[in-house]
Amino acid sequence: MDTTSPLLIDIAGTALSTDDRRRLAHPLVGGMILFTRNWESRAQLSALTADIHRLRPDLLICVDHEGGRVQRFRTDGFTHLPPMRVLGDLWMQDAMRAQDAASACGYVLGAELRACGVDFSFAPVLDLNWGPSGVIGDRAFHADPRVVTVLAKSVAHGMLRAGMAHCGKHFPGHGYVAADSHTDVPIDRRTLSAIVADDAAPYGWQRSTLTAVMAAHVVYPKVDPRPAGYSARWLQAVLRGRLGFGGAVFTDDLSMEGARHIGGQTLSPTEAVLAALDAGCDLALMCNQSLQGGAVLDEVIDGLAAAQITGRWRPNPAGEARRQALLPTSPAPDWDSLMRSPEYLQAMALLP
């Protein structure tokens, strides 16, 4: 039987519980995501990630760490990175300096996380700054997809120099709609050609370097009645076919309010995971379920295992290879050595 690990889950505390260890050891679990609640100090974070890597060396330890208001670790030496709109504003003054600053941001972001044992950050945001989206807002670089592409590629270059892969989000674009998919189901009524020409353009322009993509919990009814993360048309025909993307595809958090509604029906967590994997996602993200004791996580793990046994779901070896390609291939730096390294000091001097 093929072994693939498409589930990404969370833990409740600052150290692994017995239930955390059991879940993370399950072969269907391929990664975990950290939140601010999992943080006390650099020493604690490093001990936690080391414990996870001892349990499963192939487990991808992830975090949402973009800069600005979406930065999980902010104390005990972590650099406060600017929101990405600051780089877009800098572009309007000095485009070359903005690219250098963006690369420096990516390097500092990736190097500091890796020095604490974190493998991967869901950054950079590729959404366009259309204006009405409060959930995106200053997380977006700019309104021009060409500027977004150049600055995002610079951030990604910095992350790659630090030994970290990266993730463009939220495909095909979350910046045009005002609704927040954490609480509602955003609907974008533009045509496919309009979206591909603007919001989705950065994904095609970065096809040769982009390592992962996160799908948006947004419905684009003129393209597909399903949200993009459940849409084979968006993920396979457009993202992989038309735009030529070959990296890993993540769902956004499937526990969000806007994440499990299809055609007037509300999916169970297991049904949501299966629908996303069927559509072409490689990795399904379930956040904040450990806070209620983890029953939903156990339900999803057991449900996916049962679906595999009955033939309802077939593992995707290509998706597993894409997941493993996101794991770091170079040794993580020591924090104190990193702080003294010329590359890090130069990057710090270039931050906006």
Q: Catalytic positions, please?
A: 182, 252
CA-to-CA separations, 32 to 8, 63, 153, 194, in angstroms, rounded? 5, 8, 25, 35
Q: Which residue has the tokens 């048309």?
A: 233
Q: Residue 282 contacts by C-beta under 8 Å, 6 or more apart in sequence?
A: 6, 248, 249, 250, 316, 319, 320, 322, 323
Nearest to 111 by CA among 43, 160, 38, 61: 160
**Distance of alpha carbon 256 from alpha carbon 279, whole angstroms:** 18
Nearest to 2 by CA among 249, 321, 223: 321
Q: List phi, psi (to 5°) of 334.
A: -75, 135
**Distance of alpha carbon 297 from alpha carbon 286, whole angstroms:** 8
Q: List phi, psi (to 5°) of 204.
A: -70, -40
**Distance of alpha carbon 294 from alpha carbon 115, whole angstroms:** 29
For helices 84-93 and 145-161, give the axis angle rounded to 10 degrees: 120
Q: Which two tokens stand for residue 118?
A: 């974190």
98 secondary structure, DSSP code: H
Q: Which two tokens stand for residue 256?
A: 């969000």
Q: Which residue has the tokens 């070359």?
A: 96
- E strands present in the chain: 7-10, 29-34, 60-63, 65-67, 70-71, 120-121, 168-171, 212-215, 219-220, 224-227, 248-253, 261-262, 265-266, 283-285
Q: List phi, psi (to 5°) of 322.
A: -65, -35
